[in-house]
Amino acid sequence: MKAKLSGDAFADTLVQRISGAVLISIAFGLTVFDAADISLAPGQCSLLMLAAMAIIAFAILKTPRGVTSLIGILFLGTLIFVAARPLLALVLQDETVYTLCWGTTVDASAGSVYRLLAFWTIGVSSLFGGYFLVFSHNRRGMEGWSNRNRICCKQAFIAALLIVVLLLPIMAKSRLDAFASGGYEALYSNQAQYSFSALRLVDFLEPLLFALAVLIDDKRYTRLMAATIIGYILTGALAGRRMEAGTWLLVAVWYLSAIQRKRIRLVWLVGGLAATALLFQSMEMLRGGDGTDNPILVQFFLNQGITFLLPALSWQLPAPPIHSIIGSILPMGAFYSLSGMGTAETASVGAYVCSQSSPALFAAGYGLGSSVYLEALYACGQIMALYAAACGMLGFLLRKWEERASSSRIALFFLCVSLPSLVSIQRGSLSTVTSQLLYLSAFMAIMYVFNLITRICEFSSVAMEGLHGAN
User: For the chain, what are the domain ranges?
Assistant: 14-141+384-416
- 3-state class of 104 per DSSP? strand
Checking if the pLDDT of 359 tops 80, the result is yes
Residue 42 has pLDDT above 50, yes or no: yes
Judge residue 281's burial from the number of C-beta atoms within 10 Å of its C-beta, 0-12 exposed, 13-18 middle, 19 or more buried: buried
Contact 7, 137 (CB under 8 A): yes
Q: What is the secondary structure of 9-47 as a DSSP string?
A: TT---HHHHHHHHHHHHHHHHHHHHHHTT----HHHHHH
Q: What is the pTM of this model?
A: 0.88
Judged by average pLDDT, the poorest of 81-90, 98-107, 226-235, 383-392 is: 98-107
CA atoms of 188 and 375, how far apart (whole Å)? 24
Q: What is the pLDDT of residue 276?
A: 81
Look at residue 3 in the predicted model and tell me its pLDDT: 44
CA distances from 45 to 286, 386, 452 (A): 37, 21, 59
Q: Residue 376: which of 392, 358, 396 has the closest Cα?
A: 392
Say what the pLDDT of residue 274 is.
Answer: 83
pLDDT class of 393 with cuts at 50, 70, 90: very high
Distance CA 419, CA 414 (A): 8
Task: Give CA–CA dist 175/186, Å, rounded.
Answer: 9
* Range 61-88 average pLDDT: 91
For the segment 123-129, the average pLDDT, to the nearest whole number, is: 97
Higher local confidence (pLDDT), 407 or 376: 376
What's the mean pLDDT when you consider all of the chain?
Answer: 85
Kindly state the percentage of the chain with pLDDT values over 90: 46
Helices (H), 82-137: 84-92, 110-133
For residue 101, pLDDT over 70 is answered with yes
